[in-house]
Amino acid sequence: MKSLLDNFAKRFNIKRRIASRRFVIFTFFLFLSIIFWLLNALSKQYTSEIYYPINYSNLPEDKILIGREKLPTKLLLSISGYGFTILQHNIKLSETHAEIDFSTLSNITSAQQDSLRYFVLSKSVQEQIEKKLSSGLNIEAIYPDSLIFQFARAIEKKVRVIPNYKCVLGKQFMLKTPVYVTPDSVFIKGPHLILDTISEIETNPVILSGIETFTQVSTALTKLKDIEIPQEKVTINAPVEEYTEARIKVPIEIANVPENVMITLFPCDANLTFLVALSDYTIINSADFKVSVDYSSIKTQKNYLVDKLKVKIITLPKYARNLDAHPRKVEYIIEKK
């Protein structure tokens, strides 16, 4: 029985080695066929399209490009040549570029000297490109066939920065002061006809979610057409602090009391409840609060006496939030002097 199993294992191993050898041979010839097919394909003539980088130099001073977000960075070339040459050039394409020098171009200047218009035929850079192309490549066409650049006189203007944000605070946390931006204003540059219509610029939207401490977020400014913004980023500041409840008692003052009248309030004090930042808790002072009733409101329009006087908050310090006074109305007794 054991010898039978050994014979079976030997036969199985022999068949597996034969199958493996056949697979290797098949793979080798398949790979060889692909190589020959690729060599044959690359030896033929082709027409192809490639994007060719362009750079710019000596741009007009004190002028800004209008009508486009930015200068075009590539030209589309229709080229012909052997497959090998096209493939080789595509690999080296990142190392070459065409140069457009504005100082060598003619322009049309407006009567107000506010704008410059350049008209460039793409064929004017063809000779420059051909010198940098691999030998054996021919340029059949260049797209677009012309480039038009409109520049306007640029001026600077300082505008206010408006934070565009949504703030979601954690429980018992509040903004101690309003959200603000640093810097609060920036210089922008562009044609005066456009700048005259701009007085402020917004940041990109920012979501401040679940924050529980002073938070700063760097963000970019909203892009404006035909406007340059040298300041790339600003900082949105959210002065968040934890708040707690505080209670104090203050005397209720009486306003507009005649000299011949004495009035007594019941009660004569008001209990104030409010929220305060933890950092301000130690500076709470009852003298910072002022509540009052108005004697002149005792009589109604029909000359009837009211039962109670309304307690009004006259003075409230900046550190107190969501203040509530109790009682909201008080009783009184009037006596003649």
Q: How crowded is the C-beta side of 150, counted as CA atoms within 13 Å?
A: 8
pLDDT above 70: residue 134: no
Name the DSSP letter for residue 32: H
Encode 196-228: b = buried (16+ Cβ within 10 Å), e = exposed: eeeeebebeebebeebeeeeebebebeeeebbe
Predicted pLDDT of residue 89: 55
Instruction: Summarize pLDDT for 181-237 with one digit per residue, the tens.
Output: 999 999 998 888 888 899 999 999 999 888 888 999 999 999 988 888 989 899 999
Predicted pLDDT of residue 23: 64
Decide: 139 and 129 in contact? Cβ < 8 Å: yes
Instruction: Summarize pLDDT for 87-103 with one digit per residue, the tens.
Output: 555 545 555 777 888 77
Q: What is the mean pLDDT of residues 102-119?
A: 66
In the chain, % of residues over pLDDT 70: 74
Assigned token pair, 196: 């005259």
Assigned token pair, 2: 């054991």
CATH, range 154-241: 2.170.120.40
pLDDT above 90: residue 269: yes
Instruction: State the chain's mean pLDDT as an integer.
Output: 80
Domain-by-domain residue ranges, the chain? Answer: 45-153, 154-241, 244-336
Put simply, whether the predicted model's pTM sits higher than 0.85 gets the answer no
Query: Does residue 24 or residue 191 have the better pLDDT?
Result: 191
* CA–CA distance, 197 with 86 (Å, rounded to integer): 51
Assigned token pair, 272: 């104030």
Q: How crowded is the C-beta side of 315, counted as CA atoms within 13 Å?
A: 11
Same fold, 45-153 and 244-336: yes
CA of 326: how far to CAs of 274, 291, 312, 316, in Å? Answer: 12, 11, 11, 15
Alpha helix (H) ranges present in 52-115? 83-92
Question: Angle of helix 2-42 relative to helix 83-92, nearest 10 degrees?
Answer: 90
Domain at 244-336, CATH from 3.30.365.10, 3.40.50.150, 2.170.120.30, 3.10.20.90: 2.170.120.30
* CA–CA distance, 6 with 145 (Å, rounded to integer): 79
CATH fold for the domain made of 45-153? RNA Polymerase Alpha Subunit; Chain A, domain 2 (2.170.120)
